[in-house]
Amino acid sequence: MTEENILPDNTSLLKYTLSPEQEKKEILRQYRALLRGLRPKLKKGDRELVRRSFEIAVEAHKNMRRKSGEPYILHPLSVAMICVEEIGLGVRSTICALLHDTVEDTDVTLDEIQSEFGIEISKIVDGLTKISSVVGSGTSQQAENFKKILLTLTDDPRVILIKLADRLHNMRTMDSMKKEKQLKIASETVWVYAPLAHRMGLYTIKTELEDLSMKYLETEAYKEIAKKLAETKRERTRYINEFIRPLKEKLEATGFNFEIYGRPKSIHSIWNKIKKKSVTFDEVYDLFAIRIILDAPPEMEKEQCWKVYSMITDEYNPSPERLRDWLSNPKSNGYEALHTTVMGPQGKWVEVQIRTKRMNEIAERGLAAHYKYKEGSSDEDRFDKWFGQIREVLAQEDTDSVNFLNDFKTSFLAEEIYVYTPKGEVKMLPKGSTALDFAFAVHSQVGSHCIGAKVHHKLVPISHKLRSGDQIEIITSNKQKPTEDWLTFVVTAKAKAKIKDSLKEEKRKIAEDGKYILQRKLEGIGASYSQNNIDELMGFYKLSSQLDLFYLIATKGIDLKELKDFNVLGDKLEPPKPKHLITEIVPDQPKQYTKKDSELIIFGESSEKIMYSLAKCCNPIPGDAVFGFVSTGKGLIIHRTNCPNATQLMANYGHRIVKTKWAKNKEICFLTGLKIVGVDDVGVVNKITNIISGELKINIAALTIEGGDGLFEGTIKVFVHDKEELEELVDRLRSLPGLKVDRFDTDDTPK
């Protein structure tokens, strides 16, 4: 069979710009490019296996099209190409990437894949199949699948690397999807997949995932920063060349074999700086980083990196607090480098990154490169240690799926700090960890009995937040036991799991008493102590577990006096009939409400306008990009798409998101807030209030201003009709000399 004969002719599902013949040529072109990329890794028989997986994928997807109209087979081909070219994976991963959607989307079974390619490949494809069902499923299902992903990850990390390649290609080709789908996938990407890519050491992929997510979640800001980066490119290039010139001369004179270049920071990281530091694009000082990559033998890597650092700081003054030494203590994802920020020409701060070729490959290709360089090394493997921690947490029972996802994110995907035991042993913990997290990291028993700690020999409480470089000694007492409030300040998944286990164990002991009380009460009324009767009581008291029932009986939360109202038939309990039948009516789709509630259009099964409330966390106003979130107990809540909580809501509860847009209604006003900072001048408050109330006729809800040292800052809460009116107000206020104005989210609506 020739390669041409295995390609599909079906182009009837969607109009596509290429003819059937052109499509075949494009598919073959991509397949051959994939083989060229794999050539250095092909061993005897590999080419045939790749070819066979390609044939199966083409046949399985022959009638399928992507939303853009292109043949579906181009997606697995692109994913395989990312695995080979951008992550550095080999033949087995390529086969899995080509087959990754077959089991879920087509008639191909895992048994068929196993008999054709063996158990190793079928296991990875199975892992990938479970992953793809995460998207669009209910949250508890999502978390269960996520656990399965992680179990497969700890068994074979290639699963997550291929999944990241799959997610990257989906993000690159998301333009033809509906807006709400784009928001959901982008939120999920920035919430879980970008941090996961970072944790796997794939910095380039992590950066691209963040930028692509921002393109859909913060479209205006993304376009604005991209435009400004393009506009300042020539000026930036000129500055980089000026900065590099003296360093290049020094490095060449010393005989180093090196590359040096400048690269712009990602749009997402620039946006983060603008938000966190409340600065404008022009005020972000490190729009780019200078990278120096040395070709150094392994035994001289550290020495050469520090020599280069010394040359840089001889030329330019460094900022002492901005030195990052990941040579002595590499990150747990394998990242090694030396970062410093120095004062360059024209009084500009510039970040310089120094690393070797080996370190650079690990930074670009993460886990795949890490294992390549690890062969033959006796060093304790950081990834294996990380996988071990994940295994330990996965062994725990936790039914709350959203908590599980959030715990995983804060415990395993957060930035890290390095702390020391009294004997000088290094422990890596997520940022925000407390003394109690450290205690549990040392040992579960140490954590359970922890009553305090000494940080640098000073006594601190167990809730004390740790910082990098702290040396901690834990103080324990055999009388100490975990309590419920411990869960409010620990961040590591291990600590949370152990505390919950301990609390559950304590609850079980107390519940034993409740069990005996119930047994006696049931025997007293002639009923048996049976599962059927326990189930009846759980239903009557609306409890989900018999442990809760026994515990509440033991702690007098339930006194069982209602047992006298039950009928006993034989030895079975029959619950009492309700005296009054109360029917709670919950309409599927609330009807149209008053004019006050009708300035939003909610898209769903019905196009009727429905009742909703505005989120207090972001106070949306007409003109803001918004979405509806169906909450339990509070109905539909409207959030801005760039609300601080939006990403988490869309990532964890995609099925509860409702498409929403504003309809014009000039009769309603919305509360919003502005933060102002400026030069304290005579009459400045009068000028501000004159613009708001006098010129624009906008109602002020609250105004607070404090001055000092020639500056003032304050907040203004105003009622506006829509975003256009707010933007006009902001522009007018900014026209006042020396005044800086930013919108902020109002949490407390005045009564």
What are the tens digits of pLDDT across the range 31-67?
Answer: 899 999 888 888 888 899 999 999 998 888 888 888 8
> For position 212, what pLDDT does the model report?
94
DSSP string, 483-529: -GGGGGT--SHHHHHHHHHHHHHHHHHHHHHHHHHHHHHHHHTT---
Name the pLDDT band for 309 (thresholds 50, 70, 90): very high
At 128, list the tokens.
Answer: 């990938």
Name the pLDDT band for 673 (thresholds 50, 70, 90): confident
> Alpha-carbon distance 441 to 435, whole Å?
10
> Alpha-carbon distance 649 to 629, whole Å?
8
The torsion angles phi and psi of 377, rounded to 5 degrees, stand at -90, 145
Determine contact, residues 612/597, Cβ cutoff 8 Å. Answer: yes
User: For 431-460, how does the pLDDT look when each residue is reduced to its tens digit (9 = 90+)?
Assistant: 889 999 999 989 989 999 999 999 988 999
User: For 188-203, how does the pLDDT look when each residue is reduced to its tens digit (9 = 90+)?
Assistant: 888 888 888 888 878 8
- Any residues with CB less than 8 A from the CB of 277 and at least 6 apart, and which? 283, 284
Domains by residue range for the chain, with CATH: 3-173 (1.10.3210.10), 226-374 (3.30.460.10), 595-662 (no CATH), 670-744 (3.30.70.260)
Q: Over range 370-377, report the average pLDDT.
A: 53
- Give the number of other Cβ atoms within 10 Å of residue 599's Cβ: 18
> For position 140, what pLDDT does the model report?
44
At 659, list the tokens.
Answer: 């498409």
Return the beta strands (E) in 265-382 as ranges.
288-294, 317-318, 324-325, 338-343, 349-356
CB burial readout 107-122, b (16+ within 10 A) else e: ebeeeebbebbeeebb
Residues with a known catalytic role = 104-105
> For position 663, what pLDDT does the model report?
67
**Percent of the chain, pLDDT > 70?**
81
Q: What is the mean pLDDT of the chain?
A: 79
- Any residues with CB less than 8 A from the CB of 495 and at least 6 apart, and which? 436, 437, 440, 441, 447, 486
**What's the predicted TM-score (pTM) here?**
0.68
In what side-by-side order are the strands of the sheet with 472-476? Answer: 458-460, 450-455, 472-476
> Alpha-carbon distance 651 to 659, whole Å?
15
DSSP state of 721: S
Judge whether residue 376 has pLDDT over 60: no
CA 122 distance to own-chain centroid: 28
Residue 297, SS3?
A: coil
Neighbouring-strand partners of residue 613: 637
> Alpha-carbon distance 250 to 248, whole Å?
5
> For position 694, what pLDDT does the model report?
82
Residue 462, SS3?
A: coil
Residue recorded with tokens 């069990």: 515
User: For 60-106, how does the pLDDT look when each residue is reduced to its tens digit (9 = 90+)?
Assistant: 888 888 887 888 889 999 999 999 988 888 899 899 999 988 887 78
User: For 245-260, how does the pLDDT look when each residue is reduced to its tens digit (9 = 90+)?
Assistant: 999 999 999 888 999 9
The torsion angles phi and psi of 299, rounded to 5 degrees, stand at -75, -10
Among 678, 681, 662, 682, which Cα is nearest to 716's?
Answer: 678
> For position 82, what pLDDT does the model report?
92
At 732, list the tokens.
Answer: 């007018």
> For position 316, what pLDDT does the model report?
93
The torsion angles phi and psi of 345, rounded to 5 degrees, stand at -60, 155
> Alpha-carbon distance 299 to 377, whole Å?
13
Query: What length does the chain have?
Result: 751
Q: Over range 341-370, report the average pLDDT.
A: 84
> For position 208, what pLDDT does the model report?
93
> Alpha-carbon distance 196 to 385, whole Å?
16
Instruction: Please state whether beta strands 349-356 and 338-343 pair in parallel, antiparallel, or not at all (unpaired).
Output: antiparallel
> Alpha-carbon distance 162 to 76, whole Å?
10
> Alpha-carbon distance 657 to 692, whole Å?
36
User: For 615-638, how does the pLDDT look when each residue is reduced to its tens digit (9 = 90+)?
Assistant: 888 888 887 888 888 877 677 888
> For position 371, what pLDDT does the model report?
58
- Any residues with CB less than 8 A from the CB of 517 and at least 6 apart, and which? 553, 554, 560
User: Residue type for 75, please?
Assistant: H
Write out the H or E segment, with its range, that includes residue 705.
strand 699-708
At 134, list the tokens.
Answer: 């995460």
Judge whether residue 592 has pLDDT over 70: no
